[in-house]
Amino acid sequence: MSEEQITAAVVGMSQPHASAHLCTLQTSDRIGRIAICDADQGVLDRVRAEQGDKVQAAYTDIAGLLQGESLLFSVCNLENDLNAAACQSLIEGGVHVFSEKPIGRTAAEVESVTLSAEAAGLKLGVAYCNRALPNMELARQLVADGVIGRITSIEGRMVTSQPRFRQSAPWLFDVERAGGGILSWLGCHYFDLMRFVSGDEVTAVSGMVDSLSETEVTVEDVAAVNLRFGDGAIGSLRAGYELALSGSGYAGGAYDSYLGFRGTAGRIVWRYDEAPLNLHVESSTEAWKTAPRRTFTFEQPDDVPAYGGQHGLDFVHAFVDAALGRGEPTANGRDALAVARIIEAAYASSASGRQVDL
């Protein structure tokens, strides 16, 4: 399939990220035709009226989509309780899948989709798009180059607005539909970045989670998780839907987030609320002797209307390359499965009061 002929789809137009994923495909000069799929005909009609001339077809079910289109890949973007089955249907139809995280409600669901894609020889990407941030790519390279020595600890924080500000997507707070709360929906990005930057895997998990907000929810909205990595480093993630001052709506949430890596020869820090995009680095190595403390800044173009801006577009283009047989997705089903297992271990640890080994 030549790039001029690429047709892609977005399955699930009601989920919070739907319009952002559609904007990415609209922005990409590598996508010539877009089909959308959602069980709600009214949603399809609204999207087709609002979203530009690349959206050339709409379907109310995946069977119709597969019959009517010759797809290279589909974004799969349904609520967590529906997403894994939709991914399976697309894979069975011979379509590469770029899934919104966490792919499914449980590690078992994620594993099933991952194994199906592998058995079919199809690419399964997952939207851990922060991997494509230039500061995270640099952090990964600096760690690999030994700039901070052997990693001894990793610290993350992902705290955002309270559930009462996020009721445009109430299913996120229903454990039967979402599978989990702050860890599954947002903390997952930080578990993934810890793995990505360190190049190491989590081997043990100890966690405490609870539902403490004044809004009635059945998922955890406060969490503290400790991690042991294979090379010995100790990690931690503090996560919560807790900020009392925030804009309303899913996209208007406030954030208090941080990610740091400490090692025997230095440290790397990303402060999410600093602009422009940054990376603070300290190193006691000989190569950094003349300037042991450095700050790297990354000016991001502000005219790229894709999910995550230019880096999000680059992330999807890497998946397109993989679907065309050129390389692998930047984040794949195995990455989603590793994160899902960490999160399930945190829940199990909280319930039992014991450490869970992976």
* pTM score, whole prediction: 0.96
Q: Is 15 a residue whose pLDDT tops 80?
A: yes
**How far apart (Å, rounded) are the C-alpha atoms in residues 219 and 212?**
10
Q: What is the mean pLDDT of residues 131-159?
A: 98
The H or E element containing residue 34 is strand 33-37
- Whether residues 317 and 254 share a domain: the answer is no
pLDDT at residue 115, rounded to an integer: 98
Percentage above 90 pLDDT, the chain: 88
Please check whether residues 168 and 296 belong to one and the same domain.
Answer: yes
| pLDDT attached to residue 177 | 97
Q: Are residues 216 and 347 in the same domain?
A: yes
Do 191 and 53 belong together in one domain? no
Residue 116: pLDDT above 90? yes
The 10s digit of each residue's pLDDT in 55-72 is 999 999 999 999 999 999
> What pLDDT is attached to residue 248?
77
Q: Do 95 and 174 have their domain in common?
A: no
Residues 296-311, mean pLDDT to the nearest whole number? 88
Q: What is the pLDDT of residues 330-352, one digit of tens each?
A: 999 999 999 999 999 999 999 99
pLDDT of residue 181: 98
Q: Beta strands 151-161 and 255-263: pairing type? A: antiparallel
Nearest CA-CA partner of 347 in 356, 339, 338: 356
Q: What phi and psi values does residue 267 have, to the nearest 5 degrees?
A: -155, 160
Looking at the structure, tell me whether residues 61 and 153 fall in a common domain: no
pLDDT band at 273 (very low <50, low <70, confident <90, very high): confident
At 31 the pLDDT is 96
Instruction: Decide which of 281 and 216 is more confident.
Output: 281
Mean pLDDT of 199-224: 96
pLDDT of residue 329: 98
Which residue, chain included where needed, has tokens 């190569």? 287
Asked whether residue 22 carries a pLDDT value surpassing 70, the answer given is yes
Average pLDDT over residues 242-261: 88
Same domain assignment for residues 180 and 294: yes
Asked if 111 and 157 sit in the same domain, the reply is: no
Q: Is the pLDDT of residue 249 over 80?
A: no
Q: Are 8 and 95 in the same domain?
A: yes
In degrees rounded to 5, what are phi and psi of residue 74? Answer: -135, 135
Residues 85 and 151 occupy one common structural domain = no
Q: Are 87 and 97 in contact (CB under 8 A)?
A: yes
pLDDT of residue 4: 61
Q: What percent of the chain has pLDDT over 70?
A: 98
- The confidence band for 250, taking pLDDT boundaries of 50, 70 and 90, is low
User: Do residues 138 and 270 both lie within one domain?
Assistant: yes
CATH number of the domain where residue 40 is located: 3.40.50.720
Q: Is 49 exposed, middle or buried (0-12, 13-18, 19+ CB in 10 A)?
A: exposed
- Its domain, for residue 66, covers 3-128+313-330
pLDDT at res. 185: 97
pLDDT at 33 over 80: yes
* pLDDT at residue 284, as a whole number: 98
Same domain, 92 and 226: no
> Cα separation of 1 and 200, whole Å?
36
The residue type of 60 is T
In this predicted structure, what is the pLDDT of residue 251?
67
Candidate from 52-56, 185-189, 316-320 with smallest mean pLDDT: 52-56
Query: Count of domains in the chain?
Result: 2
Candidates 90, 86, 121; CA nearest to 103 is 86
Average pLDDT, whole number, for the chain? Answer: 95
Q: Do residues 126 and 331 make contact, with C-beta atoms less than 8 angstroms apart?
A: yes
- The domain that holds 191 is classified in CATH as 3.30.360.10
Rounded Cα–Cα distance for residues 167 and 170 (Å): 5
> What pLDDT is recorded for position 283?
98
Q: Helices 80-92 and 107-120 sit at what angle, rounded to 10 degrees?
A: 10
Residue 357 has pLDDT above 90, yes or no: yes
